[in-house]
Amino acid sequence: MSSQYATPTEQNGFIYGIHGREDVGIAELRCIEAATGKVRWSKTGYGVAHLILAGDKLLIQKTNGDLALAAADPTAYRELASAGVASGPTRALPALSNGRLCVRSGSRGGELICLSVGATAN
Identify the structural domains of the chain with CATH numbers, from first to last.
9-116 (2.40.128.630)
pLDDT mean over 32-45: 96
- Model pLDDT, residue 75: 97
Highest mean pLDDT among 14-28, 31-45, 78-92: 31-45
Return the closest-CA partner of residue 56 out of 44, 40, 37, 74.
Answer: 74
Please indicate, yes or no, whether the overall pTM of this predicted structure exceeds 0.85. yes
**Burial category of 106 from C-beta neighbours within 10 Å (exposed 0-12, middle 13-18, buried 19 and up):** middle
On whether the CB atoms of residues 27 and 56 are closer than 8 A, the answer is: no
Q: Phi/psi of residue 24, each to 5°?
A: -115, 0
